[in-house]
Amino acid sequence: MPDFSTLQLLTPRLHLRPLQPGDAPALFAIYGDADFMRFWSTPPWTSIDQAHAMIERDQRELPAGEHLRLGVVLRDGGALIGTVSLFHLDAGCRRAEIGYGIAPAHWRQGYQRESVSSVIDHAFGPLDLNRLEADIDPDNLASARALESLGFRLEGRLRERWIIDGRPSDSAIYGLLAREWAAR
């Protein structure tokens, strides 16, 4: 995979770019929010050190193309409001998993769809991937609706796949093929 350390994607309202050290306070505020993390596969962050660690990890791994995580930044004002990621990239099978999250203060404004659509375009365009997968909590109906509106199809449910704060949680697995995205 290519070097992702300088990748920039622009949409009408958003600037998607690699995370920067100055993003740590906003990133911690997002990932430390219990509402945001309600359906995540890990508990809410408890220290800004976790934000610094994510940013430092990205700065090491993005040049190698090991994964792609972009901060979702408002073009009007420059506030970091979320992230979109491609991970478990498999160049041989031309597939990856996609993850995303927008801060609760910015829900229901179309930012998730706008940012995820841009990353899907990049995945099926320049990266020449054939398949994207999303793993969500089946109770996260808003995320399920968002994926379905983008053309993802529910392909199955993995029972008790995650243990989060000592509690088993299922996964709903969604898939999207390049040809399906192109046909939209």
Which CATH number is 32's domain given?
A: 3.40.630.30
Smallest CA-to-CA distance from 95 within 66, 124, 64 is with 124
Q: What value does the mean pLDDT take over residues 78-106?
A: 95
157, part of any domain: no
pLDDT at 174 over 90: yes
What does pLDDT average to over the chain?
Answer: 94
Q: What value does the mean pLDDT take over residues 171-184?
A: 96
162, part of any domain: no
150, part of any domain: no
Work out how many domains the chain is built from and give that number. 1
Q: What is the pTM of this model?
A: 0.93
pLDDT at 164 over 80: no
* Greatest C-alpha distance within the chain: 44
What is the CB neighbour count within 10 angstroms for residue 120?
22
Residue 78, phi-psi category: left (phi > 0), alpha (psi -120 to 50), beta (remainder) = left
pLDDT at 35 over 90: no
More confident residue, 178 or 169: 178
Q: Which residues constitute the domain of residue 107?
A: 9-129
47, part of any domain: yes
135, part of any domain: no
Q: How confident is the model at residue 134 (pLDDT cuts 50, 70, 90)?
A: very high
182, part of any domain: no
Q: How confident is the model at residue 2 (pLDDT cuts 50, 70, 90)?
A: confident
Q: How confident is the model at residue 17 (pLDDT cuts 50, 70, 90)?
A: very high
Token couple for 32: 């430390």
113, part of any domain: yes
**Residue 150 has what pLDDT?**
96
Distance of alpha carbon 44 from alpha carbon 37, whole angstroms: 6
**Residue 41 has what pLDDT?**
75
183, part of any domain: no
